[in-house]
A and B are shown apart, each in its own frame.
Chain A
Amino acid sequence: MSASAETLENVSQAVDASTADRTPTPAGERYAVRASGVRRVFSGRAVLDGVDLALKKGDFVALLGPSGTGKTTLLRIIGGLDIADEGHVVVPRLRSIVFQEPRLVPSQRVWRNVALGARRPRAARRRALDALAEVGIDQHAMAWPRTLSGGEAQRVALARALVTEPDLLLLDEPFASLDALTRIKMHDLLAALCAKHQPAVVLVTHDVDEAILLADRVLVLSNGTIALDQHVDIEKPRRRDDPRFLELRATLLEQLGIARTVGGEGADVPSDH
């Protein structure tokens, strides 16, 4: 833990350095997220019951699971917004979250919203404008958030999350409230940005296709533990009509408790919301 002590932050409630150190860390490989035995109880029910998760820099993991299986809870614990009841959680200090809603400050112009996360205020404006250009809406830099469409606002949220160049990017169903066409564009944008900046990414989603399209690993959360940890061995860009895509889709849907024939309709698992 000593090598990465400066950039990693321990957000677990009970810190046990010796246990954390036992996690094998091959030379040259830096873990972005190390969580083990994470348990979270809400009113007597263990939503998370012994979840282990390890992510390296550049890993893109999608978290799937039916409603109420604690996907968002796990993301909030990794993001430092919630604290686990038990377990160890070590995450990078530099991390950002994109939520389902854009969560922009209505009284601040778009570029100021992006600059919100910037650490050095003097360079903030320049970097905010660069980040907005990267997500393709720099022309709206001076606009008020309420004048943006849903897709535009979510792009701003993405720019705000990336402006700090985080080591860990957490996405909590970021495209769930977007229309289908905008969602496709956002998938491409996210894939390109992640390939460029190489943060570790955790994407919580209920959209199986989205998970397979974007992630290197798909985890299925069920009964408070990770029931399936599936590598996606399909080269990018992935096509929805690729046989391997369809096969994986069927596997995942089955794991999620929805038995469908390959290529069947209705990939969406009901949302948590």
Chain B
Amino acid sequence: MTTAELVDDTTVAPKNTAAAKPVALDKSLIDLSPKNRGREKILERIKFWRGWTLRIGVPVLLVVFWQLVLNWGWTTEDQLPSPETIVKAYKYLWDNGSLQAALPVSLRRAGEGLLIGSTVGLVLGIFAGLWKIGEEIFDATLQMLRTVPFIALVPLFVTWFGIDESSKLALIIAAALFPLYLNTFHAVRGVDVKLIEAGQTFGLSGFQIARRIIFPTALPGILTGLRFACSFSLLSLVLAEQVNSTAGIGYLIINAQNNQRPDIVIAGIWIYAVLGIAIDFLMRGVERLALPWRARVGIG
């Protein structure tokens, strides 16, 4: 007996009838019964690998194109150094020790500014979120200040804090403060009033409600703010280091520009880019760890 006969003969194979019997479909019906699982599995695998291939492949292709542009003679090394030259620039910077000196300086600037700025933003945001009087005192002022692009503050900060470290730190603090303040404030205010009410019915004090209900529920919003604060502090780092740096990656770039070394300029920019990706990657990890209850699959 062939397979075709089995399928067609309902009396011989009653168990298979529903699945195997071809159903006449008109346009108003759609067949959702499982079929061709093998093909779907292959498609799933393709989708999985496609993601990573494209994420990595596109930047790689860009670098290859970059190299080709030079090979074809569309531009010269003076204008656009080849990727190969830039890799050599890293080796040069590493060998003379300037890369090792610059990186910690820049990271420290961004880190300190981020830490101070986000702490202040967090505290102010919580204060304004929990207490109406906090909002009344400084929300309007902060909302006004946040609309000022912090680039506009650079000359002012140099006047106020001098051209050394403190003006750079002040700029990064200012950049990190606002995203954290805004997101924390809105996250705390956005906590469902029904949950707070439920806490009140158990006689929880205001502090207990804040600690047990409001903060855990507001955490996603606060982490979003932290993510913004991270990228803003990096952005302001680049900006701050353009002004009279004596150390750091910005110093390397400015110095290279003065010495007509575009390869080192691009090498510095690449470092900024890698830092940005690294921070984003890190924050994704933090969010995954801190917010397990939001995961698609529940634990336990």
Contact = CB atoms under 8 A, between A and B. Distances in A.
A144 B203 contact: no
A80 B200 contact: yes
Given A105-B217, A107-B217, A146-B298, A93 B195 contact: no
Contact of A108 (B201, B204, B212, B291): B212
Nearest to B300: A142
B298 A116 contact: no
B216 A93 contact: no
22 contacts: A80-B200, A94-B203, A95-B201, A96-B201, A96-B202, A99-B198, A101-B194, A103-B197, A107-B216, A107-B217, A107-B293, A108-B212, A109-B293, A109-B300, A116-B202, A142-B299, A142-B300, A144-B292, A145-B293, A146-B293, A146-B298, A170-B201
A143 B200 contact: no
Contacts of A105: 195, 212-213, 216-217
A186 interface: no
Given A108-B212, A144-B293, A103 B299 contact: no
B219 interface: yes
A107 B219 contact: yes
Given A79-B201, A103-B198, A107-B217, A116 B212 contact: yes
Given A144-B298, A146-B298, A99 B202 contact: no
The 8 closest A-B pairs by CB, nearest first: A117-B202, A147-B298, A142-B300, A107-B216, A103-B198, A97-B201, A144-B293, A144-B298
A103 B202 contact: no
A136 interface: no
A97 B199 CA distance: 10
Interface string A77-117: 00111000000000001111101010101111100000011
Interface in B157-207: 192, 194-195, 197-204
Contacts of A101: 194
Contacts of B299: 142, 144
Contact of A143 (B195, B203, B298): B298
A222 B217 CA distance: 39
Nearest to A164: B202
Chain A interface size, under 10 / 10 to 19 / 20 to 34 / 35 or more: 20 to 34
B293 A81 contact: no
A177 to B, nearest CB: 14
Interface in B247-300: 291-293, 298-300
A116 B213 contact: yes
A101 B198 CA distance: 10
Contacts of A146: 293, 298
B300 to A, nearest CB: 4
A116 B199 contact: yes
B261 to A, nearest CB: 51
Contacts of A106: 217, 293
Contacts of B217: 105-107
Point out which of B194, B201, B203, B300 has the most chain A C-beta atoms below 10 A from its C-beta.
B201
Contacts of A108: 212, 216, 293
A97 to B, nearest CB: 4
A131 to B, nearest CB: 13
A26 to B, nearest CB: 29
A168 to B, nearest CB: 10
A105 B212 CA distance: 9
Contacts of A116: 198-199, 202, 204, 212-213
A144 B297 CA distance: 10
Given A81-B200, A143-B298, A103 B293 contact: no
A147 B292 CA distance: 12
A12 B37 CA distance: 67
B194 A103 contact: yes
A92 to B, nearest CB: 11
A116 B298 CA distance: 21
A80 B216 CA distance: 25
A145 B294 CA distance: 10
Interface in B128-153: none
Interface in A144-195: 144-147, 160, 164, 170
Contacts of B300: 109, 142-144
